[in-house]
Amino acid sequence: MNRYPVWKYAILVIALLVGVLYTLPNLFGEAPAVQVSAGKSSVKVDLTTQARVEEALKAAGIAADAITFDGNSIKARFASTDVQLKAKDAIQKSLIPDVADPSYVVALNLLSRSPAWLSAMGAAPMYLGLDLRGGVHFMLQVDMQAALTKKAESLAGDLRSALREKNVRHGGISRNGQAIELRVRDSQTLEAAKAVLADQFADLQYVDAPDGTEYKLTATIKPVSARLVQEQAVKQNMVTLHNRINELGVAEPVIQQQGPDRIVVQLPGVQDTAKAKDILGRTATLEMRLVDDSAEARAAESDTGPVPFGMERFKERNGQSVIVKKQVIITGENLTDAQPGFDSQNQQPKVDLTVDAKGGRIMRDTSRENLKKRMAILLFEKGKGEVLTAPVIQGELGNRFQISGSMTVTEANDLALLLRAGSLAAPMEIIEERTIGPSLGAENIAKGFNSVTWGFLVIVAFMCVYYMMFGLFSGIALGVNLLLLVAVLSMLQATLTLPGMAAMALALGMAIDSNVLINERVREELRNGASPQAAINAGYDRAWGTILDSNVTTLIAGVALLIFGSGPVRGFAVVHCIGILTSMFSAVFFSRGLVNFWYGRQKKLKGVSIGTVWRPDAGSAVTKVE
Amino acid sequence: MEFFKIRKDIPFMRHALVLNVVSLVTFLLAVFFLFSRGLHLSVEFTGGTVMEVGYSQAADVGKIRGVISGLGYTDVQVQNFGTSRDVMIRLPAKKGVNSAQQSEAALAALKQADPDAVLRRSEFVGPQVGEELAVDGLKALGMVVVGIMIYLAIRFEWKFAVAAIIANLHDVIIILGFFAFFQWEFSLPVLAAVLAVLGYSVNESVVIFDRIRENFRRFRKMNTVEIIDNAITSTISRTIITHGSTQIMVLSMLLFGGPTLYYFALALTIGICFGIYSSVFVGAAIAMWLGIKREDLIKGGVSKANDPNDPNAGATV
């Protein structure tokens, strides 16, 4: 009765193998590495960059252990910190000729030392939280009211020009909070205004009320549109934050949305909070200016003449110089949206731009006077301007216009993103901030590790003494539990924090519960005179119901923490929940497998080694040993 | 080895009344301290700034307090943290000031006073986050309580569900009472520990109830009190051993986990100790007062012929 079919043993062996494979990367430790990623939104890291990195290292005579490209960055691993620092200098010299204007971020990082075949399987070490590796954590709240107000403001402007276009005479448009108020004299005009609203402003809902002899029309942003505005505001702010953080040279920044209006930024390894905060809070600006096409400007473009008076020289992304006027047509403030799309006539990729009413008026005048001339769109980051694109004005422009021609789909997407990234969609406020020094992180790892190790050893020792062979089985099962827990955490790449390590220790302490329950039950069956095989069978069977009950109640608490917890509590809850699940597998299924393997084959089993089975009627201890 | 050589069932329920009064008094005391002293909530709940500053030599707490007070803070807490060289400074949230810059201003002042000061950790939490965390914590507690009750009511019976929840909430309140009495810092990890303990010590009640149900099936002659006594006696060894081994882990955290895990482990320790007590003496006793019967647990009912209270049971005519 105490035998497992072969398939059950097969499951155990496979689970163990997978567990060992995915736990392995954690044992190899980390090696110093240099990471190269894009330093500007307009620069892409690809295989050619990898070739440049390899060349630079070869030229400097530095041997890298491995160079990998993961889609966003190139990571090169080195044997020691000395080599790492030399390599960083070499790569920096070759990739960044102008230190004042770096196109790439070359950052020091740590990389798993695990062999390539393990990494190829997707096995990676657990992702350590900030409290274990040191760094800065920010939580930013996006001011959604401001985003909505901004939207209402731009819609009010749009409405004003739309009414003028349709010759609807109104008594004034004003923005009151997030509502737009429109006054009209008579019911005829009211109907005309309503028609314009219904026709052109899908984002607005409106109510009208008589106000004395006049009518007042109050338009508000529809809830659906408001949600859209908020989503876009958060997304745009995240893109902007991403671009700015690149500047800090952080190897693996985390930028995540949390809830509807919050953004979490984690910068591992960064200690200078002041600089980080300064960079997060800064605004990049977008400017549109006219390009000078005069003969002097042409000469200046090709570096054969001086830059004419009232002009400035900027570089395009491909390095081409462009001479533009100093006078700014409109800035990013007037730009409300930029979306990639396809031209309906020739199916070419394009970018649709929307500017507010004021911007639209200026664009109309400027474009009428400068037909067939080029207009440059400049992005200023860190006080340095760069020409994103300089298209030729093909006609009279208004509120909405498009940039098209000689673009790939990716280029159109990038351009739209860069245009939007020019400014934050809504102001943000830091509502939570945490800094953890690197030495504290290392100390925390050691503390968590010590807690788990010592607790584990003492429990196993106690189990072995108290339950003999069965105690040893329980101890091995507990070890397997730890192995599986680490493997699952590595697989999920869940963030391990100090509370997470505490949960790991607690999970082990609670997991042994199931084995004690089983062992006590087996003893009790033996005490009541059952044969050893029957006692093992009954012990496991009867304990199972209780184990399930107790684990379900613990899991309820774990899930509640997972749902409502944030930050440190969530780190605890994830490990807690996974620990309960792995403990059910190891404490019941795996330990039974061990017991079956050891005792199950013996048909005439005389006794099992489970420590003292004490009988009250005998009055003395009866020790059954095999 | 065997620690528990018990010849006869221990009459736990004989003292149920006295022990329940003791529980009630402890519980009321805990509630009293919770209201009179209140919890010493960490910065995560109240909002404000916490800084941990390391020095190369033993830090002069008084001097540091002076430096920080010089910045215009009235309610500043400065205390040693872990070792005499590490200091923890708590600054209250200041309205109108960009609070994210508090820590920098404070560190600059500290560095001026003693260039050795190194920022080890700083934490700033805005007041809106703190309020949210407190609300979420209560929601989590509510979900655990309701979830466990529903589960136990389905698995056993409502009387057990009520008994188990009262027994374990009693533990939770007592843990909180300890934190209020000693003014230990109540932080997010402590909250996690409290909820984990709630889920964990329900286990004990579950194990005992499980045994009570089994005993009702097996021993038809025993009355409810005897059945409960037998159930507790036969599970007491595993109750103490499992809690003991969990406590070994927690003790290891208490000793090696450092100051960050200290209160977390402390909350667990109190929870585990009271967990044993409450599931043995409180939970089962409440179930007894609520009047659990054989019929409640054995579905399909017991035939009249086997009712132990019927003097004519088993008689045939």
The CATH number of whichever domain residue B81 belongs to comes to 3.30.70.3400
Residue A93 is part of a domain; what is its CATH number?
Answer: 3.30.70.260
Q: Which of A371, A396, A423 is the last residue of a domain?
A: A423
> What pLDDT is recorded for position A421?
62
Encode pLDDT of A323-335 as tens digits.
888 888 887 777 8
pLDDT at site A577:
94
- B169 with B292, same domain: the answer is yes
Q: Which of A373, A366, A364 is nearest to A394 (CA)?
A: A373
- CATH number of the domain residue A360 falls in: 3.30.1360.200
* pLDDT score for A247: 62
d(CA B15, CA B285): 10
Enclosing H/E stretch for B120: strand B118-125
Report, as an integer, the average pLDDT of A507-512. Answer: 90
Examine the domain organization and report whether A451 and A405 are in the same domain. no
Same-domain check for residues A340 and A404: yes
- Tell whether B22 and B116 lie within a shared domain: no
- Collect all residues of chain A within an 8 Å Cβ-Cβ radius of residue B141: 560
Residue B180 placed within a domain = yes
* Mean local confidence (pLDDT), A218-244: 83
Alpha carbons A459 and A51: distance in angstroms, whole number: 53
Most confident residue range from A207-211, A417-421, B301-305? A207-211
Angle of the B224-256 helix axis to the B258-277 helix axis, nearest 10: 170
In this structure, is residue A431 part of a structural domain?
A: no
Amino acid at A348: Q
Q: Would the CB atoms of A549 and B5 count as touching at under 8 Å?
A: no
In this model, does residue B175 exceed pLDDT 50? Answer: yes
Assigned domain for A139 exists: no
pLDDT band with cut points at 50, 70 and 90 for residue B99: low
Is the domain of B112 the same as that of B227? no
Chain segment B20-74, per-residue pLDDT in tens: 888 889 999 999 999 998 888 888 888 888 888 888 888 888 888 888 888 777 7
B260 and A520 within 8 Å at the Cβ level: the answer is no
In a domain, A501, yes or no: yes
What residues contact B182, with CB distance under 8 A and at least 6 apart?
A: none
In a domain? residue A136: no
pLDDT at residue number B73: 76
Is B152 at the interface with chain A, CB within 8 A? yes
Among B195, B205, B208, the residue to mutate for chain A (most A Cβ within 10 A): B195
CA distance B315 to chain A (A): 30
Q: Other CB atoms closer than 10 Å to residue A398's CB: what's the count?
A: 16
Confidence of residue B78 (pLDDT cuts 50, 70, 90): confident
Shared domain for B269 and B191, answered yes or no, is: yes
Domain boundary among B125, B142, B166: B125
CA–CA gap between residue A140 and residue A245 (Å, rounded): 14
Pair A419, A443 in one domain: no
Same domain, B220 and B141: yes
Question: Does A614 share its domain with A533?
Answer: yes
Closest CA of chain B from A12, distance in Å: 25
Q: Say what the pLDDT of residue A625 is.
A: 43
Q: Are residues A446 and A418 in the same domain?
A: no
pLDDT reading at B82 higher than 90: no
The residue segments making up the domain with residue B270 are 12-40+129-305
B276 and B167 in a common domain: yes
- Shared domain check, B173 and B73: no
B144:A573 CB<8 A:
no
Q: How far is A3 from A403, CA to CA, in rounded Å?
A: 73
Is the domain of A413 the same as that of A307? yes
Rounded to an integer, what is the distance from CA A198 to the centroid of its chain?
Answer: 40
- Residues B121, A440: C-beta atoms closer than 8 Å: yes
In a domain, B7, yes or no: no
At residue A426, what are phi and psi to the nearest 5 degrees?
Answer: -150, 150
Residue A315 has φ and ψ, to the nearest 5°, of: -105, 145
Which of A431, A450, A503 minimises the CB distance to B129?
A431
Together in a domain, A478 and A610: yes
CATH of residue A454 = 1.20.1640.10
With 50 as the cut, is the pLDDT of residue B303 above it? no
Residues B222-255 have pLDDT tens digits of 888 888 888 888 888 888 888 898 899 999 999 9
Residues A75 and A186 in one domain: no
The tokens describing B177, both together, are: 């009472």
B175 occurs within a structural domain = yes
The torsion angle over the Cα atoms of residues A469, A471, A473 and A479, rounded to 10 degrees, is -140
Residue B189 has pLDDT above 80, yes or no: yes
What local confidence, expressed as pLDDT, does residue A11 receive? Answer: 92
Distance CA A318, CA A390 (A): 12
Q: Quick: pLDDT tens for A282-292.
A: 655 678 888 88
A266 is a domain residue: no
A173-176 and A400-404: which strand pairing?
unpaired
Structure tokens at B75: 């309610």
Residue A443, chain B, CB below 8 Å: the answer is yes
Give the domain range for residue A375.
Answer: 284-423
> Which of A401-415, A560-574, B160-174 is predicted with the least confidence, judged by mean pLDDT?
A401-415
Given A423, A451, A468, the domain boundary residue is: A423
Residue A271 confidence (pLDDT)? 65
Number of domains in chain A: 4
Q: Are residues B27 and B57 in the same domain?
A: no
Determine, yes or no, domain membership for B281: yes
**Residue B313 domain-assigned?**
no
Residue B92 lies in a domain: yes
Co-location of A294 and A377 in the same domain: yes
Does residue B179 share a domain with residue B211? yes
Interchain CB contact of B295 with A (< 8 Å): no
Pairing of strands A311-315, A321-331: antiparallel
| Residue A516 lies inside a defined structural domain of this protein | yes
Give the pLDDT band of residue A16 (cuts 50, 70, 90): very high
Residues B119 and B58 in one domain: yes
| Per-residue pLDDT tens digits for B104-145 | 778 888 888 888 888 888 888 877 777 888 888 889 888 988
Q: Do A553 and B206 touch (CB under 8 A)?
A: yes
Last residue of a domain, one of B125, B150, B175: B125
Test A274 with B250 for CB contact under 8 angstroms: no
**How many whole angstroms separate alpha carbon A8 and alpha carbon B278?**
40
A429 touches chain B (CB under 8 A): yes
Contact list, A512 vs chain B (CB under 8 Å)? 242, 245-246
Q: Of B65, B100, B125, which closes a domain?
A: B125
How far is A554 from A561, CA to CA, in rounded Å?
11
Contact across the interface for B124 and A432, Cβ inside 8 Å: yes
Note whether A398 and A447 are same-domain residues: no
pLDDT band at A473 (very low <50, low <70, confident <90, very high): very high
Same-domain pairing of B73 and B99: yes
Q: Are residues A339 and A468 in the same domain?
A: no
Report chain B's mean pLDDT, rounded to a whole number. Answer: 82
For A61, A164, A288, A486, B277, the CA distances from A397, given in Å and listed in that order, are: 56, 17, 13, 60, 80
CATH number at residue A153: 3.30.1360.100
Do A76 and A160 reside in the same domain of the chain? no
Look at residue B106 and tell me if it is in a domain. Answer: yes
User: Of A66-75, A408-417, B173-182, which one has max mean pLDDT?
Assistant: B173-182
Whole-number pLDDT of residue B312? 53
pLDDT of A624 > 70? The answer is no
In a domain, B256, yes or no: yes
- The answer to whether A19 and A480 are in contact (CB under 8 A) is yes
Are A567 and B188 in contact (CB < 8 Å)? Answer: yes
Q: Does B153 touch chain A (CB under 8 A)?
A: no
pLDDT tens column, A150-191: 778 778 877 887 888 888 888 888 888 788 888 888 888 888
pLDDT tens profile A273-284 = 677 776 676 655
Which of B1, B191, B206 lies at the smallest CB-CB distance from A612?
Answer: B1
Portion 523-542 of A in contact with B at CB < 8 A: 524
Decide if pLDDT at B275 tops 90.
Answer: no
Q: Residue A361: which pLDDT band, with cuts at 50, 70 and 90?
A: confident
Identify the band that residue B301 occupies on the pLDDT scale cut at 50, 70 and 90.
very low
DSSP assigned state of A392: B
Contacts of A576 in chain B (CB under 8 A): 196
Chain B residue numbers with beta carbons less than 8 Å from the beta carbon of A524 are 234
Inform me whether the pLDDT recorded for B176 exceeds 50: yes
Number of domains in chain B: 2
Binning pLDDT at 50, 70 and 90, where does residue A581 land? very high
* Residue A141 falls inside a structural domain: no
Check CB contact of B272 with chain A, cutoff 8 Å: no
pLDDT, mean over chain A: 83
| B202 vs A contacts (CB less than 8 Å) | 550, 553-554
Model pLDDT, residue B95: 61
Q: Which residue of B has its CA nearest to A619?
A: B7
- The residue of chain B nearest to residue A545, with distances taken between CA atoms, is B210
Strand partners, A92: none
CATH of the domain at B282: 1.20.1640.10
Among A186, A205, A225, where does a domain finish? A225
B156 and B110 part of one domain:
no
Q: Between residues 50 and 79 of chain B, which touch chain A (CB distance below 8 Å)?
A: 52, 54
Residue A566 lies in a domain: yes
